[in-house]
Amino acid sequence: MKCGLSLDVRDIDETTINIDPIQVGGRLTADAMKAVIAYGDGYSVCDNCRKPNRLDMIKSPPIDAFHRDLAAFVNMDEARVVPGARRAFQAVAGTYIEKGDPVLLTALSHYTEFLSVEAYGGVPLEIQKSSENIITADAAGEKIDSVKREYGRPPKLLYVDHFDYQFGNEHEVKGIIKVAKQNDIPVLYNGAYTVGIMPVDGRDLGADFVVGSAHKSMASPAPSGVIAVTKERAEEVFRTTKAQADLTKRTFGIKEVEMMGCTLMGVTLVGMMASFPHVRERVKHWDCHLSNGRMIVDALLAIDGTTVKSEYPRKHSLTRIDTTGSFDTVARTHKKRGFFLTSALKEKGIAGTIPGATKVWKFNTYGMTDAQARYTAKAFQDIALQNGLIVLR
Amino acid sequence: MSKRAVDSVFQAMFLLTDLRVILRDTAPVHELDESRQAMVARTLAELEEQVKVIRKEMVG
């Protein structure tokens, strides 16, 4: 079936259980799908834009109220919607980083955080991870001291991911933020894998900036995200234009420089808004999602030779698993080689793994129903048994 | 053409969206329990009503 001439219908989530590490938290709710139908046209939220002509002040649809709700959702003072978490990194970097400034990231930071530092001439420096792939407050403190010795000043900014994209491990964000604050370093909390799937309280954490990815974790179309900040930081990151054109003498109202004026002017924003009531509710049920994920991880670990690379017991639904000693031993002699696992999963209606991967790979169980979680756990073990592996029950 | 037809077209698409979500929630085997079967039956009945309105308004 086609959408128009050349686009195949994408029905992966209707026909399979999708365990793609980055896709599951961004799947739309029914209400978001309906909003997408109604608001698909370009600047669709601008029908009732009135002076002072800024996205976050539009009352119909209630975008102004949504911004307040977003800030409250992560317990911060002000929020803006952005085209993905990366654009929030860019806004913060653009506000604070000058050429040559040392900026702290971590050994597990996402590449877009590095790019945002590079874009403004900052020097990205990593906090070391532990042998268990955890970023600790102690390691942050040591790195801050090291930067102060080398640069004669503290880092200009610190980015920390609550859960990282590589292992889905939880890092000592509260302790790291505390150490940063003791050194007057503003902190960007990267909640790409938390905001929208589990409760996040930015004020309790002590963050200056809370960043979320709506297309990753808030059941929204891409690209979409949120940046929420303290009142003090709002004046800086959300500063308004002071520019005046030299020939025409035009000025540009109260457009915000780092936001490049208005950000999400259509389907992405209404998708976020339509999903939001459900997202606000679903974070209360994070334990259920985690429990399903743990069951599937345990089912995999029961396959002899399988180990988990992520911290264990799991604290997140994103997991890095090592099947070198199990599924990869099958791949060595199987006629489909490494593709046997993807193929076997596909036959059972499970999708989202990297084709050919049988050694170390990631999956995310977020959003499954209980029945789907049980089905997935059994499917992995059935594939193991069908291929001569031992399953320890 | 009428506002009624427009409303019914949207409503029909929204009802189909509800069915789409049921397909997602029950993938890959799509075995529906009694509660979901009842929901599908109700949704289809409402959809048929909307289609009737569309036919009346747009075909005559």
According to the model, what pLDDT value does residue A32 have? 98
ipTM of the complex: 0.98
- Rounded to an integer, what distance in angstroms lies between the CA atom of residue A154 and that of residue A122? 13
Range of the domain at A343: 12-23+284-386
Helix, strand or coil for residue A225? strand
A14 touches chain B (CB under 8 A): yes
A166, A320 contact by CB (below 8 A): yes
From residue A130, how far is each of A47, A115, A311 by CA, in Å? 52, 24, 12
Residue among A166, A176, A181 at smallest CA distance from A143: A176
- Among candidates A27, A21, A108, A28, which has minimal Cα distance to A293? A21
Instruction: Using an 8 Å CB-CB cutoff, list chain A residues near B20.
Output: 14, 30, 33
Q: Are residues A33 and B29, on separate chains, in Cβ contact within 8 Å?
A: no
Residue B1 confidence class, pLDDT cut points 50, 70, 90: low
Out of A215, A231, A265, pick the residue that ends a domain: A265
Indicate whether A222 and A307 sit together in one domain. Answer: no
Same domain, A159 and A214: yes
Is residue A78 assigned to a domain?
yes
Q: What CATH number has the domain bearing residue A305?
A: 3.90.1150.10
How close does chain A come to B56, measured CA to CA in Å? 23
Angle in degrees, CA A340, A318, A283, rounded to 5: 140
| A65 found inside a domain | yes
Residue A103 to residue A84: CA distance in whole angstroms: 21
A154: in domain: yes
Q: Are A373 and A324 members of one domain? A: yes
Record: contact A15-B21, CB cut-off 8 A: no
**A141 and A213 belong to one structural domain:** yes
Residues A253 and A292 in one domain: no
B27 to chain A, closest Cα gap in Å: 5
- Measured over the CA atoms of residue A114, residue A116, residue A121 and residue A125, the dihedral's sign is negative
Same domain membership, residue A363 and residue A245: no
Residue A113 falls inside a structural domain: yes
Judge: B24–A16 Cβ closer than 8 Å, yes or no. Answer: no
**B21-32 mean pLDDT:** 98
Cα gap A233→A214, rounded to integer Å: 22
Question: Which H/E stretch holds residue A150?
Answer: helix A137-151
Which residues form the domain of B46? 3-58
Token pair belonging to A295: 């069951």
Non-local (6+) Cβ contacts of A133 within 8 A are A108, A164, A166, A167, A169, A309, A310, A311
The answer to whether residue A168 is domain-embedded is: yes
CA-nearest residue to B26 within chain A is A372
Residues A16 and A141 in one domain: no
Chain B residues touching residue A350 (CB < 8 angstroms) = 28
Could you tell me if B57 lies within 8 Å of chain A, comparing CB atoms? no
Q: Do A218 and A299 share a domain, yes or no?
A: no
The residues, any chain, with a CB within 8 Å of residue A188's CB and separated by 6 or more, are A88, A89, A92, A157, A158, A159, A160, A207, A208, A209, A211
Residues A200 and A141 in one domain: yes
Residues A299 and A253 in one domain: no
Q: Say if residue A243 is in the same domain as residue A126.
A: yes
Task: Mark the ranges of chain A whose per-residue pLDDT is less than 50.
Answer: none
Domain count, chain A: 2
Residues 16-45 of B with CB under 8 A from A: 17-18, 20-21, 23-29
Pairing between β-strand A209-213 and β-strand A187-190 as defined by DSSP bridges: parallel
Count structural domains, chain B.
Answer: 1
- Closest approach of B59 to chain A, Cα-based (Å): 23
Nearest CA in chain B to A32: B17
Cβ separation of A33 and B24 shorter than 8 Å?
Answer: no
Q: What's the rounded Cα separation, in Å, for the pair A263 and A216? A: 18
Which amino acid belongs to residue A46? C
Which residues on B lie below 8 Å from A27 (Cβ)?
24
Q: Is residue A38 part of a domain?
A: no
Q: How far is B54 from chain A (nearest CA, A)?
A: 18
Residues β-bridged to residue A322: A307, A360
Contacting residues of B for A38, CB less than 8 Å apart: 10
Q: Are residues A203 and A233 in the same domain?
A: yes
Amino acid of residue A148: K
Q: Which residues of A touch B18 (CB under 8 A)?
A: 30
Query: Does residue A34 sit within a domain?
Result: no
A340 found inside a domain: yes
